Chain A
Amino acid sequence: MTDSEKHPKKDRRSIASSWQFGPENHLIFVRNAEAVLAHLPLFLGGWPMRGLGAMPELTHDIDIIENGDGSLIVRLTGPGGNDIAFDDGLNAANGFAGSLIGAYIARQPDTICLHASTALVGGGLVVLVGNSFSGKSTTALQLACAGYRFFGDDRIAIRWDDESLPIGQCLGLMPKMHLPLPLDCGAAFAEYIEAFSELQDDEAAYLRLGDQEAAGFGDEAPIIALIDLDRQDSGSTSFEEASRPALVKSLLSQVYAPHLDISKLVPSMNRLASLVPCFTLRFSNSREAAQVIATRFREPSKDAGDD
């Protein structure tokens, strides 16, 4: 028996339902979202969504194709469009969350998306950027563990308000923490991760924070700092102003804006780095890094409360 006979390709596109995701002014249409809906709450929360029934004539932004052997393809059309294959529904749901955000960002000409983790400290958002494994999620979750509102893991949308000041918007991605936890993360942090874990596997804990702990999809706040994280294997924590060119380079490597011409992105990132104080945080211990951020940006009343 051939592979194709054992696993006949199931083309459900003709019978799959259509779904709409997102706010009314930026609706994203998806075909066959039911294939990943069971796992989606692990990765994405707070997005308005509605089933539309079978609407084959509708132009869909995202198509989820089931191959019949358990594997799936998430197909994003439009700017930044691509096909990404996944072995199972869990991973496809994770990929779908990313595609949904990609489509949502591409709908808004004045909005970009940064690969960053964010927390609300004092009067605004502290946006943590940096390369993969630079500790963005860990540091933001350390801030959440210390009582600061978690505002987004992995990605944040940024737009400019009427006074041309940058505003961050929560995209509703659920936080994920790499496992095992660092030995020096602290007992309180380990308890926090355990308490809010929805699912854990060998590599990660998938967290579900409550409304008290985290912002929801669409919540907005002004950005008060951009911090480029530089995690070291050892050594003490240092926090200093970053040069604007260095920060722009870092932002350019972390920005997602498939709808914008690359020549517009450099001025756009320069504008962002010009309007917001920029810092470099060198650290080896994420708990200390979070303490440095909290001390620098928290409001005076929070000072009094913590002491």
Chain B
Amino acid sequence: MTKQKTFRRNPAVTETDIDDEIFLVEPVSEEVFDMDTVSACLVPKFWAVSD
């Protein structure tokens, strides 16, 4: 039996919309992830699943 992966949104991660892209900031590691137009479309869907 395969274990199903689940995702949980990290509430500390901040999100900034810039035009069609999304910039995510992880405050502990101080990493910035920029999601291009395609991946930016997926981010809200991920949040919807993980919330």
Contact = CB atoms under 8 A, between A and B. Distances in A.
The B interface, classified by DSSP as helix, strand, loop or mixed, is: strand
B19 A262 contact: no
Chain A, interface size: which category? 10 to 19
A263 B18 contact: no
21 contacts: A243-B19, A244-B19, A245-B18, A245-B20, A245-B21, A245-B23, A245-B34, A249-B34, A252-B32, A262-B25, A262-B30, A263-B14, A263-B25, A263-B27, A265-B25, A266-B16, A266-B23, A266-B32, A270-B16, A270-B23, A273-B18
Contacts of A225: none
Interface string A255-294: 0000001110111001001000000000000000000000
Interface string B1-36: 000000000000010101111010101001010100
Given A252-B32, A266-B16, 20 more contacts: A243-B19, A244-B18, A244-B19, A245-B19, A245-B21, A249-B34, A261-B27, A262-B25, A262-B30, A263-B14, A263-B25, A263-B27, A265-B25, A266-B25, A266-B32, A267-B16, A270-B16, A270-B18, A270-B23, A273-B18
A294 B27 CA distance: 40
Contacts of B19: 243-245
A249 B33 CA distance: 10
A248 B21 CA distance: 11
Nearest to B34: A249
Interface of B: 14, 16, 18-21, 23, 25, 27, 30, 32, 34
Contacts, number: 32
A263 B25 CA distance: 6
Interface in A112-153: none
Contacts of A243: 19
B34 to A, nearest CB: 6
A143 B36 CA distance: 35
A266 B21 contact: no
Contacts of A263: 14, 25, 27
A252 B19 CA distance: 16
A252 B14 CA distance: 15
Contacts of A261: 27
A245 B25 CA distance: 14
Pairs of residues from A and B, 10 with the lowest C-beta to C-beta distance, nearest first:
A245-B21, A263-B14, A262-B30, A266-B16, A263-B25, A245-B18, A266-B23, A270-B18, A263-B27, A244-B19
B35 to A, nearest CB: 10
Contact of B27 (A252, A262, A267): A262
A104 B16 CA distance: 28
Nearest to A262: B30
A262 B21 contact: no
B31 to A, nearest CB: 8
A262 B16 contact: no
Contacts of A244: 18-19
A273 B19 CA distance: 11
A114 to B, nearest CB: 16
